[in-house]
Amino acid sequence: MKSKVDRDLRLLTNFARIYCDNKHASLDKTIWRSSHLGLSENSREKSLRLCQECRDLLEYAATKRKQCPLDPKPMCKKCRIHCYSSDYRSKIRNVMRFSGTYMIKHGRLDLIIHYFF
């Protein structure tokens, strides 16, 4: 059974992919591998391409998720610690808002059932 951390890392990866595909279509991108997060890759993730900004944000958010000291982890927006810097916090909320709406419109409620921001 997949761990909660792995599940959240996959969700973060999906959020970043959707955001970058739709908002940064014209930017230079490089292949980004989910194995960087210690995850096995599914076929979609093998061809995941991200711009530098989304790559930085995803890696920052993944590090915070892996290092989260709270168990059970609350939704970050309800957290008393708020471990993100204000800049990254603002960026991840934009990505969550856009990609969460996108997933709902495309019937992927299963992916955001554990929506955590």
Contact positions vs Zn ion (CB under 5 A): 20, 24, 51, 54
Between 27 and 81, CB nearer to Zn ion = 27
Q: Which residue is nearest to ligand SF4 (CB)?
A: 79
- Sequence-distant contacts of 94-97: CB under 8 A, at least 24 apart: 94/19, 95/15, 95/16, 95/19, 95/54, 95/57, 96/15
- Determine if residue 38 is left, alpha or beta; phi over 0 gives left, psi from -120 to 50 gives alpha, anything else beta: left
Per-residue interface string for the shown chain with ligand SF4, residues 39-78, x marking contact by CB under 6 A: -------------------------xx--x-x--xx-x--
Residues of this chain that bind ligand SF4 (CB under 6 A): 64-65, 68, 70, 73-74, 76, 79, 81-84
